Amino acid sequence: MQFVLAGFRQFDNVRQYYFDVVTEDRKRQQVEVSADLNLVRRYRIPLQDLPLLCRRLLEGCTKVKTINFTESDMIRYASEREAAANALLQRRRAHRPPISSRVGQAWRGAPAPTRRGD
């Protein structure tokens, strides 16, 4: 099955996303996924991520007409995002080269030789 975003509507603090479900035999059915924007803000989920998250939620279901993006789904996504950010931060910290006392000497060149006998 394929899920194609057909649009969305917002009613107060609930945003409803409409998807066309295209089956293998090319039949289309429209399904609706609702998300509470108060919860989205509480868990700091960017609005631009919502359509993909709703689609991912639909991919785990079969034969659904209407579904809600629940608080437990949002908590799971927020914790996954935080874990990924922490892992990225740890990788960045782990790969820092040590600071050398010879910083900048490569472009300065060798010191000029002193002449003896003058």
Q: Is residue 56 part of a domain?
A: yes
Report the pLDDT value the prediction gives residue 101, as an integer from 0 to 100. Answer: 66
CA atoms within 13 A on the CB side of 40: 18
Q: Is residue 107 part of a domain?
A: no
Report the pLDDT value the prediction gives residue 16, as an integer from 0 to 100. Answer: 94
Low-confidence ranges of the chain (pLDDT < 50): none
Q: Is residue 96 part of a domain?
A: no
Report the pLDDT value the prediction gives residue 100, as an integer from 0 to 100. Answer: 66
Residue-range definition of the domain harbouring residue 55? 2-72
Number of domains in the chain: 1
C-alpha–C-alpha distance, residues 14 and 38, integer Å: 8
Amino acid identity of residue 62, one-letter, is: T
* pTM, rounded to two decimals: 0.68
Q: Is residue 87 part of a domain?
A: no
Q: Is residue 90 part of a domain?
A: no
Range 41-44, long-range pairs (CB < 8 A, 24+ positions): 42/74, 43/74, 43/75, 43/77, 43/78, 44/78
Report the pLDDT value the prediction gives residue 35, as an integer from 0 to 100. Answer: 93
